[in-house]
Structure 1
Amino acid sequence: MRLRVLAPLALLLTACGAPTAQPPAAACQSPAEAVLPHTAGTLAETDSGSFCLAPGQQLSVFLTATGSAHWSAVSSSDPQVLAPAKAPLTAPIGVTPALFGATAAGTARLTSQDGTGHDWAVTVVVR
């Protein structure tokens, strides 16, 4: 009888000491098809939400102005995760270009503002 009581107790104690499950990774989608060579994808002012990259991949951004309002330079909230790439980009008048490289696992936010008070922001998950 003692063994019947102790066995479930041992299982319970073992389960309590087991490592907890990891939280699910942030949901993200692949960016739209790349328009530049050697990039993983392209984002535009119409994109929103979360996008996935792997370390070492690059992402291009092209924000097109409407009317006379131009987008500010695109910035990364965490350059340790998503760093501006050192590559010259030439874009048509009214388009703000940017190129970023995924350098480490983590999450960064890309943001820009146009002259009319509109904000653009996306989340990039590097994993």
Structure 2
Amino acid sequence: MMGRVLASRRTFPVVDYGIRRDGSFESVESASDYVDRTLEQNAAEVDDVATGKRSNAFITSRFGYRTGREAYTAGQLEPYMRTTYRVGIFILHEPRSPRGYRIYTAYPRNDGD
């Protein structure tokens, strides 16, 4: 995780390119559980994407316990590892899918940055 964040850092005089976070769930099973629960907790937004009212959505949920870990950088040169308590999911409208949407990415995260 740390390597991907470091490798992505490209700084130019005006624009800073690079990922700020790279998270990982503890297991495939926990990832599936957190994703399912996050989709359920954000049913209105998911329905809007599934029906085509919106082309995409980024949804999050906070859990009262650890969801994973992430390498994070908030502008400093070196990323650091931190425990996460949220899950973020980016979904896209997909009319060919029986659900009407597809998950583009999902990862453990923290908010406030």
Same fold (TM over 0.5): no
Q: If the length of structure 1 is used for normalisation, what is the TM-score?
A: 0.25
Higher helix residue share: 2
Question: Which structure would you say has the larger Rg?
Answer: 1
